[in-house]
Amino acid sequence: MGIVDDDIAQVRDASDIVAVVSEHVQLKRVGRRWSGLCPFHAEKSPSFSVNAEQGLYYCFGCGAKGDVITFVREAEHLDFAAAVERLAARSNITLRYTDARDGENRKRRSRLVEAMEAAVDFYHQRLLESPDAAAARKYLRSRGFSGDEVRHYRLGWAPDAWDTLVRALPQPKELLVEAGLAFMNQRGRPTDAFRGRVLFPIFNANGDPVAFGGRLMPGNEGPKYKNSSGSPIYDKSRVLYGLNWAKAEIVNADEAIVCEGYTDVIGFAAVGVGRAVATCGTALTEDHVRTLRSYASRVVLAFDADAAGQNAAERFHEWEQRHGLEVSVAAMPAGSDPGDLARTDPDALRAAVTNAIPFLRFRVERVLAGRDLATAEARARAATAALEVIGSHPDPLVRDQYVMDLADRLRLPPDELRTRLAGRGRAAGARPDRGQSGAAGEERAAVATVAVLHDSPELEALRLVLAQPEDLAESLHDALFADPLCLDAYRSLRDAQWRVGQLADTSDEVLALLQRLGVEQPVSEPAEVIERLAEAAGQRQLAVLGNEARMSGDERALELAGVVAWLKPLLEALRDPRTAPDAAPVLLGWLIDRHEGRT
């Protein structure tokens, strides 16, 4: 049950894999391929390659591979259907479903997004035009918001009334309740969820509105901030405010900045730092981290990192290790947040990001800051406190670097600090280092150790036909392939009209080979490859003829000797660049005839 196969094929063919991948990875054209840093594992040298013509990607470092649908699934942590829908929306393709219930569920999600879009428009126009929004407009001006910012972020105003939105929107009331835009009061009447608040629409990474964050007007009673409740289209543990606007710059900078609030994101953008996102009323979660890691390898925390250090230090260090992520902290002036700093001291805000320090370094500095280190006793106490922080990091090499720095700074013997740190680990029942542990790490490791065939003319032929089928396809034949895997790959590719995306009933081994070869750069000319294939096939046939002659009677042996006498000089001619172009077609024709039983 799912999406109609023809629609999946249409989506795959209509999707520009280079454009899709470029939302997550900086790609550079290299010959006929595109190359960049792999988004699925940590690396410093590009090993990730994309074949635009075949719609394939392959990483030579971790073995990640597939087509544009697979990429969206892996990079954005979606199931297959959601990935197809994401790509279908990009190409304005309407999908059909084989299961009526599945189709209805997805249509309902679409209707929820439409309801949310209508609410965004309604509240936004209310803020811009309605007399009852005058105080809200004045408040936003006092906070430094320009008219352009209000329009760009589609800020809104929810009037202080019971059911203004419910009465204004044409959508069914139960749909508004399901979307989190309304609730049923004690009398069973639909009531607006947001009243008397400035609204910040929350969009998912694709730019669809899925929720609101509401800020109470100063002087009014009630919680200062209110966020939409969870719904089929909104999960606050997964959605990051501002990612729809920031993702391109995040990819280009290979860095994401994480804030606490919507105004912080807007403040960063106002000072030219457009790669900031915010959590939506919740702490940073691993789902957030997975999402960010698909766009960048570095995350800068621009919120109260002291609290994070107390409450989530171990999680941050594990995420660094597990996801190949570098977590740093933007140390801003005490008592300031990015939204305020953007107005009062934009240079300081930009500098805080530029000078961000590793998360562990930040925590150690906080422990040592303000301590009197003049006496041996004070330095020993400071060392003990700092070792508690250092010991939370899972990597022994990182811990030892910090131990050496601490020893130098406090004028203490490093071996003594190492002993104390080791004793702390035993006392706390420290876990062994896990590194890339878990099912995901094991899977990547297994993929990375898959044996790769030695290079050969057959592999080069497959590379070429994947890259330039018009130059080679008509010259290839089963007779030219000896390796069973390459022969299977050639036959599968031929049956699929040289498009990997149209392969059917193909083994995983063949698919993996073609996905890898599809992103490798051929180094030979088509004519050269045909000559090498023909020569290798001719040499094989020469050996077969010799064996056959030895097993045959005199008359047949004489006949075979004549064929051998004709074949040897032809093979010699293939080795001479001057005669090879004429010899290759003759040999190729004979090989095909022999393979098909005509000689």
Q: Supply the pLDDT for residue 572.
A: 87
Q: Supply the pLDDT for residue 519.
A: 83
3-state SS of 230-255? CECCECCCCCCECHHHHHHHHHHHCC
Q: Which residue has the tokens 């899709």?
A: 20
Pairwise CA distance, residues 27 & 186, whole Å:
56
Which element (helix H / strand E) includes 210?
A: strand 209-216
For residue 284, give the nearest of 303, 262, 269 by alpha carbon: 303
Strand partners, 277: 258
Strand partners, 358: 328
Buried-exposed string 172-184: b where 16+ CB fall within 10 A, e elsewhere: ebebbbbbbbbee
Q: Supply the pLDDT for residue 564.
A: 87
Report the CATH fold assignment for 5-90: DNA Primase; Chain A (3.90.580)
Pairwise CA distance, residues 203 & 117, whole Å:
10
Which element (helix H / strand E) includes 197?
A: strand 197-203
- Rounded to the nearest angstrom, the gap between the alpha carbon of residue 313 and the centroid of all alpha carbons in its chain is 25
Long-range contacts, 393-400 (Cβ 8 Å, 24+) = 393/317, 393/360, 394/317, 394/318, 394/321, 394/431, 394/433, 394/434, 395/321, 395/433, 396/433, 398/360
Backbone angles phi, psi at 62, to 5 degrees: -115, -5
Backbone angles phi, psi at 66, to 5 degrees: 150, -165
Q: How would you write the pLDDT of the chain (599 residues) with one tens digit per residue?
A: 578 888 998 999 899 999 999 988 889 888 778 999 888 887 777 889 999 888 899 988 888 899 999 999 888 877 888 899 889 988 889 888 877 666 677 788 889 999 999 999 999 999 999 999 999 999 999 999 999 999 999 999 999 999 999 999 999 999 999 999 999 988 889 999 999 999 999 999 888 999 999 999 988 888 888 999 999 999 999 999 999 999 889 988 889 999 988 999 999 999 999 999 999 888 888 889 988 988 888 999 997 655 544 445 667 888 887 888 899 999 777 777 888 899 999 999 999 999 999 989 988 988 898 788 889 888 999 999 999 889 888 888 889 999 999 999 999 999 989 988 887 654 444 444 433 333 333 333 323 323 334 468 899 999 898 888 887 888 899 999 988 889 999 999 988 888 887 787 788 888 888 888 888 878 888 888 999 899 999 999 988 888 888 877 777 888 888 888 888 888 888 888 888 888 888 888 889 988 888 77
Helix, strand, or coil (residue 585): helix
Strands 156-158 and 65-67: unpaired
Pairwise CA distance, residues 333 & 99, whole Å:
56
Structure tokens, 70: 């697979």
- Nearest 5°: CA angle at 126, between 344 and 279? 50
Pairwise CA distance, residues 88 & 96, whole Å:
11
Q: CB of 291 within 8 A of CB of 334? A: no
CATH number, domain 109-227, options 3.90.1300.10, 3.60.20.10, 3.90.180.10, 3.90.980.10: 3.90.980.10
Q: CB of 180 within 8 A of CB of 228? A: yes
Strand partners, 241: 278
Q: Which residue has the tokens 């009323």?
A: 281
Q: CB of 56 within 8 A of CB of 45? A: no
Domain ranges for the chain: 5-90, 109-227, 243-361, 370-427, 457-595
For residue 267, give the nearest of 164, 328, 352, 196 by alpha carbon: 352
Residue type, 296: A
Helix, strand, or coil (residue 198): strand
Pairwise CA distance, residues 491 & 469, whole Å:
14
Structure tokens, 185: 């009061």
Residue type, 223: P
Pairwise CA distance, residues 24 & 36, whole Å:
10
For residue 217, give the nearest of 302, 136, 287, 134 by alpha carbon: 136
Is pTM beyond 0.85? Reply is no
Pairwise CA distance, residues 402 & 368, whole Å:
13
For residue 217, give the nearest of 134, 141, 135 by alpha carbon: 135
- Rounded to the nearest angstrom, the gap between the alpha carbon of residue 230 and the centroid of all alpha carbons in its chain is 25
Q: CB of 28 within 8 A of CB of 35? A: yes
Which element (helix H / strand E) includes 216?
A: strand 209-216
Report the CATH fold assignment for 243-361: Dna Topoisomerase Vi A Subunit; Chain: A, domain 2 (3.40.1360)
For the chain, the distance separating the N- and C-terminal CA atoms, rounded to the nearest angstrom, is 51
